[in-house]
Amino acid sequence: MRLLKTLRLASRDYGHEWQMSGCFVLALAAVLGPMLVLFGLKFGVIGGMLNQLIENPENREIRPVSSGRFTRDWFGNMQRRDDITFLVPRTRSIAATIELDSTQSSRIVRAEMIPSGPGDPLLAADGYLPDGMSRVVLSQSAAEKLQVERGDRIDGSVSRRYLGRKERKHVELEVADVAAVGAFGRDGAFADVRLVEALEDFRDGRAVPELGWNGDATDAERNYPGFRLYARSIYDVAGLKSELTGQGIDVRTKAADIDLVMRMDRNLSAIYWAIAIIGLIGFSLSLGASLWANVDRKRKELSVLRLVGFRTGDIVWFPVTQAFYTGLLGWALAIGIYHAAAYAINGMLADQLSSGQEVCILLPQHFVMALGLTVGAAVLAAALAGWRSARIEPSDGLREI
Amino acid sequence: MQNVFQSRNKARSTVYHLRDVVRDRASEGVTFRLRVPALQISQGEKIALIGESGCGKSTLLDMLAFIAQPSEIAAYRFRPELEGDAIDVAQLWKKRHMNKLGDLRKCHIGYVMQTGGLLPYLTVRENMSLSRSVLGLKSDDTVENLARELGIARHLDKLPDTLSVGERQRVAIGRALSHEPSIVIADEPTASVDPFAAEKIMSLFIGLAEERNITVVVASHAWRHIKRLGLRRLAHHTHRSKDGRTTETVVNG
């Protein structure tokens, strides 16, 4: 009841002194707003850059140095590991080429077949995937040379020397998608593992019933000379490398690059934490100082409240309530400032960024954190100042003008 | 026999009983000392403390209102209600029971400050009701009646800064009386208004206190018009030590 009365009085005072209150809110927002923008930039630019480095599939790829003999069981076992996001068998590279031809272009393009499947880190996660014996994803350069785009039909052909005769077989393919520029630098076609296997079978003189190609019967047990393997993250690469080395498989990784990225991540994080801590200390001090000064200014009025019988504990609530308002309103205004600045910055750099990417970005939890910190620091400063002024003798407070 | 009865009766009705109460205050190398060898104030008495500013009047009033702690106390007893026992204020201070002292003030004492001390964000009505609402008293027509008697009824819903200084002092007097205290302490309540208004406000204040049989302690520097209102003047004298380092005021009564 007494507490409620104090809260009501504090609110009345805050509203009555709206100009002064407004100044405190502005002062808070003027410090917090730019800080939010700074954090938005850190989060957007550096976070984005690091994510690109960390998520760049090249850094997560593990390649076998020489060809081996990998069984289907081996693939089955390895695919169950959760530190591997993508693993498909490779056929012999010499057997994994195809000649592509389109009606739009007079050129015949000799493309490498890349075994692929769902979750291939080189292909867009939301794009169309190579599927079955007919749907392939072309690399950018292959698509350009063939002058085709998604949905077009192309002709694929392979040749072999079988029973002393040279023969060429054709398969009609559909361009399921065209991969992004960075996915594969040469002429290539991402295809379902079965299609890649079929081409190898054909070259080896075996029959491919799915495509109606004749030849010798297939072996029951198939072995693969290599694989395409991507670790879940760059942090898993080292562990996988030692695991594979342990199995007697020599692999090549981008360990040196990864080390660089990880060191950069650590150093940049340290730098930003330093900035963050310095910023926060400065922010808390400025907020605390202004609230402290405000309580000093109100000492006479607080003493009047004590004179009419408010207790020490009630008095502390008075500046605390007002600090809460200042914290809340200042935070809201700072968010407004941040959004305006972020909109301007992102708009300014929009044409230099890929779509959907933003330079200045904060997540909802960042705003909640800012609110907690602001209100927490404000309430703490006001409580300390209030406690101090509640402890001085009321007569001293009353005589000050 | 009759003498004994009378003196016992007097002891029973004593509100304040102070013996050898001292408060020192240092300021710019000079120590101001207020010494009260003995002071008794009876229920319903009207006391005037007359003197130049800086002689320690406010200090004594603040000690009587429990908002300034004495440096030394031999005895300090406070009996706000005739039926109740005397409260050992010296003990409360010694144990720093500030909230208990605050509660005593809240229940029994009204205080009129030299410069209003009204809260600028509350209306006149709310300022006057403040001492009532802190006590949890129901709002009735007490505040309206007081305002009418003080001549400020038409200002009840205004904010203090729209009022003249004299009107603000009337509001302050109203606030000190609205919770029906048994003691009202006023520190130069009319110092900041012109002499004519001062006289009017002071007699209004004393009149209201008289009607309600309230004990009054008022400090003022103008004895002339207070004398007419029939207040008892407390004797005090101030002297400065030879080296000028100490100024001591002694109050007796």
Banded pLDDT at B4 (limits 50, 70, 90): very low
Q: What would you measure as the largest C-alpha separation in chain B, in angstroms?
A: 60
Distance from CA of B85 to the nearest CA of A (A): 22
**Which residues of chain B make contact with A312, given a CB cutoff of 8 A?**
98-99, 102
Which pLDDT value is given to residue B2? 46
Per-residue pLDDT at A86 exceeds 70 = yes
Strand order through the sheet with B46-50: B109-112, B183-187, B215-220, B46-50, B232-233
* Contact status, residue A67 vs residue A225, Cβ threshold 8 Å: yes
**Strands B30-42, B215-220: parallel, antiparallel or unpaired by DSSP?**
unpaired
Nearest CA in chain A to B130: A308
Q: Which of A1, A13, A297, A308 to mutate to test the interface with B (most CBs of B within 10 A)?
A: A308
> Do the chains contact at A398 and B117, CB–CB below 8 Å?
yes
Q: Which of A72-86, A281-295, B179-193 has the lowest mean pLDDT?
A: A281-295
Q: Which residues constitute the domain of residue B244?
A: 2-252
For an interface test with A, which of B130, B139, B183, B187 has the most A Cβ atoms less than 10 Å from its Cβ? B130
Question: Would the pLDDT of B91 be above 90?
Answer: yes
- Confidence at A93, pLDDT banded by 50, 70, 90: confident
Going by C-beta distance under 8 Å and a sequence separation of 6 or more, which residues neighbour residue B29?
Answer: B245
> Which stretches of A56-138 are assigned E, i.e. beta strand?
61-64, 70-71, 84-90, 97-101, 108-116, 135-138
Which of A9, A15, A311 is opposite residue B102, by nearest beta carbon?
A311
Q: What is the pLDDT of residues A153-178, one digit of tens each?
A: 999 999 888 888 888 989 999 999 99
Query: In chain A, what residues touch B159 (CB-CB under 8 Å)?
Result: 16
Nearest-CA distance A322 → chain B (Å) = 14
Strand partners, A70: A224
| pLDDT of A353 | 67
Percent of chain A with pLDDT over 90: 30
Instruction: Give the number of A-B residue pairs with CB atoms closer than 8 Å.
Output: 71
Phi first, then psi, for residue B31 (nearest 5°) are -95, 125
Is ipTM over 0.90? no
Q: pLDDT class for B163, splitting at 50, 70, 90? A: very high
CATH number at residue B22: 3.40.50.300
Is residue A276 predicted with pLDDT exceeding 80?
A: no
- What residues form DSSP beta bridges with A158? A169
Number of domains chain B is built from: 1
How far is residue B79's CA from residue A68's CA, in Å, rounded to a whole number? 104
Interface touch A393/B120, C-beta < 8 Å? no
Residues of chain A positioned with their CB less than 8 A from the CB of B98: 312
Q: How confident is the model at residue A401 (pLDDT cuts 50, 70, 90)?
A: very low
With 50 as the cut, is the pLDDT of residue B5 above it?
Answer: no
Question: Does residue B232 have a pLDDT over 60?
Answer: yes
- B 192-251 residues inside an 8 A Cβ radius of A: none
Mean pLDDT of B57-76: 91
Mean pLDDT: which of A24-33, A93-102, A176-185, B123-132 is highest?
B123-132
> Closest Cα of chain A to B12: distance in Å?
27
Inter-chain contact A309–B111, Cβ cutoff 8 Å?
no
Q: Taking CB atoms and an 8 Å limit, are A311 and B131 in contact across chains? A: no
What is the percentage of chain A residues whose pLDDT exceeds 70?
Answer: 96
Predicted local distance difference test score (pLDDT) of residue B1: 45
**In the predicted model, is pLDDT for residue B70 greater than 90?**
yes
* Residue A200 pLDDT greater than 70, yes or no: yes
| Cβ–Cβ contact A275 with B under 8 A | no
**Is residue A181's pLDDT more than 50?**
yes
Tell which of A21, A310, A398, A400 to mutate to test the B interface (max B CBs under 10 Å): A398
Per-domain residue ranges of chain A: 2-54+261-399, 66-249
Q: Which of A66-80, A324-338, B103-117 has the highest mean pLDDT?
A: A324-338
Q: Check residue B15 and give its pLDDT.
A: 92
Name which residue leads in pLDDT, A192 or B53. A192
pLDDT for residue B180 is more than 70: yes
| pLDDT, tens digit, 9 for 90 and up, residues A341-363 | 999 988 888 777 665 667 888 88
Interval A194-200 mean pLDDT: 90
Chain A residues in contact with B107 by the CB 8 A cut-off are 309
Of the candidates A386, A371, A317, the residue with the CA atom closest to the CA atom of residue A7: A317
pLDDT at residue number A354: 63
Expressed in percent and rounded to 5, the helix, strand and coil fractions of chain A are: 55, 20, 25
Helices B195-211 and B142-150 sit at what angle, rounded to 10 degrees?
A: 140
The predicted structure's pLDDT at residue A400: 56
**β-strand B46-50 against B215-220: which pairing, if any?**
parallel
Residues forming a β-bridge with B31: B26, B246
Q: What average pLDDT does chain A have?
A: 86
Report CB contact under 8 Å: B106, A393: no
Chain B neighbors of A1, CB-CB under 8 A:
136
Residue B173, token pair as written in the block: 């007097």
C-alpha distance from A316 to closest chain B C-alpha (Å): 14
**A399 vs B3 pLDDT, higher one:** A399
Q: What is the pTM of this model?
A: 0.71
Look at strands B246-252 and B30-42 and give their pairing: parallel
Closest approach of A309 to chain B, Cα-based (Å): 4
Interface of B with A in 121-160 (CB under 8 A): 121-122, 130-131, 133-136, 159
Neighbour-count burial of B116, counting CB atoms closer than 10 A to its CB (0-12 exposed, 13-18 middle, 19+ buried): buried
List Cα–Cα distances, B171 to A46, A74, A109, B134, B201, in angstroms: 63, 94, 99, 17, 11
Using CA coordinates, name the residue in chain A closest to B62: A395
Question: Strand, coil or helix: what is A61?
Answer: strand
Instruction: Provide mean pLDDT across the span B174-198.
Output: 91
- DSSP 8-state code for residue A161: E
Instruction: Please compute the mean of the pLDDT values over residues B104-123 and round it to a whole number.
Output: 91
